[in-house]
Amino acid sequence: REERESWIRAKYEQRLFLAPLPAAEAPLGEQLFGAVQEKDLELVLLLLAHSKKEQLNISTGDKDRRTALHVACDMALVVITQLLVWYGADVRARDGQGRTALFYARRA
């Protein structure tokens, strides 16, 4: 039982079985924002696996204070949008103009 619990901690708490993140100076939230803008699904998945909920909802990357979810919805990136929601992105977050991700999804 102890061995099993140790393995579970290593996998889910310490995340020891994940591929390493690429070397980058930017915080994870900014990297995620950029990966969404570049439509890099593989990198988005890796960053999400390494992220914590609070890192998903950082308003960063552009002057409008949009989150990665705002950008994914604006670009009609359905798969990335769904992944962000599954990983805990705040669907009620508002950008600098008071718009939610739903506004951008409807517009796209």
The number of domains in the chain is 1
In a domain, 58, yes or no: yes
In a domain, 41, yes or no: yes
Structural domain for 64, as ranges: 28-107
The pTM for the full model equals 0.84
CATH code, domain carrying 82 = 1.25.40.20
In a domain, 18, yes or no: no
**CA-CA distances (angstroms) from residue 40 to 43, 65, 68?**
5, 21, 12
In a domain, 23, yes or no: no
Say what angle helices 41-50 and 28-37 make with each other, to 10 degrees. 160
In a domain, 3, yes or no: no
pLDDT digits (tens, 9 = 90+) for 53-92: 888 888 875 678 899 999 999 999 999 999 999 999 999 9
